[in-house]
Amino acid sequence: MSLVRRFIFAVCLFLCAWATVSAEEPTRIFTDVVGRKVSIPTKINKVYCTSAVGVILIYTLSPDKLAGWTNKLGLDELKYITSPYDKLPVIGGAFGKNNSGSLEEIVKAHPDVIFSTGTADALTVSTSERLQTQTGIPVVILGSNLSQLEATYRISGDLLDAKDRATELADYCAKTLKETEEKVKAIPKEKRPRVYYAEGPRGLETDPSGSFHVELLDVLGAVNVAEVPIISSMGRSPVSMEQLLVWNPEIIISGYEHGLGPGGLRDEVLADVAWKNIAAVKNKKVFETPQYPFNWFDRPPSVNRILGIKWVAYLLYPDVFPFDMRKETSEFYEKFYRRKLTEQELDELLSRSLPRK
């Protein structure tokens, strides 16, 4: 082929490629987790999330596309957030208790799409439809249950042009769940400990089996002692000390409560004489949930619970799950949060969350 012909051939190839790119549709139809067909941009540059659950998903997957935080992060949380994402604006949430984001602020952030990641119930659907109508921005509903996390990462990776990163995180979630469920199946019911999830400033609030707030315990086959009705949305059914004494849990997982200071609810429970006859307190098996930058157990119930599975599995079944939790924590933070932890930070995260040796 002559030089001229080669040049003409190269130009033709370029023009064909350019025409293909130019002809790419500006929008695509996406079917979300509840079956809604939503027209979304083919190219997504910014995402607004209606809750912290979605924010954490995008922060771990493609932080450059995160429009902003739903909640103002404290210094303890920001310490674990890499720059420049620690300086993202606080837009507020759109649903539920954290309905702090105004329509004006959401629109001003110029997101190409809105992710509603959480419980996919009728209220979420109707609220998403209303938000989409009011803002003119497409709203996509994604699942956040532990069993849905793998698919949610893969779907989000496809939407945000981050397939390789999504595959890495999705595979980690899938592997953790699969290995955990296989090992838990082999544990006899009589070997499964009785667990109480202590919430509220006095520890006298909780959530029963079947609530998404304690999904982690259900995955691990633990016996959740809470015999209370499920309260939708924010949960937290009240209980009495008399009930707790009857339930007599062997292990207590204490939620994080703002305003209690160092030691939090765990130290309150261990120091309160009203709790002293409970088996978990007698045997010093009261463990605080690590919460920085995001809670490992609940509130928000996001991907951080994947590390929480390993942590609670180690507490419940140390012989079956003999994890080195410092190693597991370091690996998770580096993989998901892109944050290399120091030994001091590992001490801060785990000092009240593991059995004393």
Fold match, 25-176 / 187-350: yes
Range 7-16 contact pairs with CB under 8 angstroms and sequence separation of 24 or more: none
Q: What are phi and psi of 112, to 5 degrees?
A: -80, -25
Residue type, 65: K
pTM assigned to the model: 0.90
Using N-to-C axis directions, what is the helix angle for 325-336 and 304-316, rounded to 10°? Answer: 170
Amino acid identity of residue 110, one-letter, is: H
**If you search the block for the tokens 């892109």, which residue do you land on?**
338
- Alpha carbon distance 66, 59 (integer Å): 7
Residue 4: CA atoms inside 13 Å, Cβ hemisphere, count? 0
Q: How far, in Å, CA of 353 to CA of 344, rounded?
A: 15
Q: What superfamily would CATH give domain 187-350? A: Nitrogenase molybdenum iron protein domain (3.40.50.1980)
- Residues of the chain predicted below pLDDT 70: 1-24, 95-101, 258-263, 357
Ordered by start, the domain boundaries in the chain are 25-176, 187-350
Let me know how long the chain is.
357
What is residue 83's predicted lDDT score, i.e. its pLDDT? 96
State residue 260's pLDDT score: 60
Sheet holding 194-198, edge to edge: 223-224, 194-198, 251-254, 286-288
Find, among 259, 59, 232, the residue nearest to 160 by Cα: 59
For 196, phi then psi, to 5°, come to -125, 130
- The token duo for 310 is 């390993």
Amino acid code (one letter) for 47: V
C-alpha separations of 293 from 60, 114, 175 in Å: 12, 23, 23
What pLDDT is attached to residue 80? Answer: 97
Superfamily of domain 25-176: Nitrogenase molybdenum iron protein domain (3.40.50.1980)
The reported pLDDT for the residue numbered 317 is 98
Helices (H) and strands (E) in the chain, counts: 14, 11
Residue with the two structure tokens 């959480």: 118
